[in-house]
Amino acid sequence: PPEEAVAIGCARHAASVLACPTHSKSIGDSLNGMEGVGPATRKVPLCPLSIGICKIPNDKTNGDLETFISNNAYTLIGIGDALPANVSKCFKFSNGTEGSSIAVVQIQGGAGQKSKVLGNVENIPLDADNFEITMELTTAGKLTVAVNGGPTCKL
């Protein structure tokens, strides 16, 4: 039967991969006499906080901004996402961005983390109702933001 042939092929491929000398020898299981041979594992750094964007009305700058961001922000890079992270997302605002600013924000996550503005996104026309934000966060913590594939802004 075809299912059995696929299973046998998968088992043979797995055995050849596990026998490859480039994989680490950290697993202590015995596989057909190959003691300690297993796939390589590595630790991947994870994002410790959530980062996103928020459309903030110009009259909201002196109010309870932290609560407003927590309730209205769009997360692009979340807590626990693998780094480096590179995310693009299209946004549509029904009445454009006039009378407000688009801010890159840290979104409240775990204990002790507060929502706050990290910087403003530039290069968005006031009458724009559709745009794409690309956000990249490196393992060194460098955040870059681009609008519609244009020049990047480092925060």
155 band by pLDDT with thresholds 50, 70 and 90: confident
Q: What is the pLDDT of residue 32?
A: 53
Question: Hey, what amino acid is at 115?
Answer: S
Which residue, among 90, 80, 77, has the nearest Cα to 143 in the 3D structure?
A: 77
Gyration radius from the chain CA atoms: 23
Q: Where are the alpha helices (DSSP H) in 53-139?
A: 65-72
Q: What is the pLDDT of residue 24?
A: 43
Decide: helix, strand or coil at residue 78: coil
The separation between the first and the last C-alpha atoms of the chain, rounded to the nearest angstrom, is 58
Respond yes or no on whether the N-terminal peptide bond of residue 84 is cis (omega within 30° of 0): yes
Q: What is the pLDDT of residue 37?
A: 52
Q: What is the DSSP letter of 136?
A: E
- Where is average pLDDT lowest: 28-37, 56-65, 68-77, 145-154? 28-37
pLDDT above 70 for 25: no
pLDDT above 50 for 29: no
Residue given tokens 């991947």 in the structure block: 44
Decide: helix, strand or coil at residue 69: helix
List, for residues 49-85, the tens digit of each pLDDT value.
899 999 888 777 566 888 888 888 999 999 999 999 9
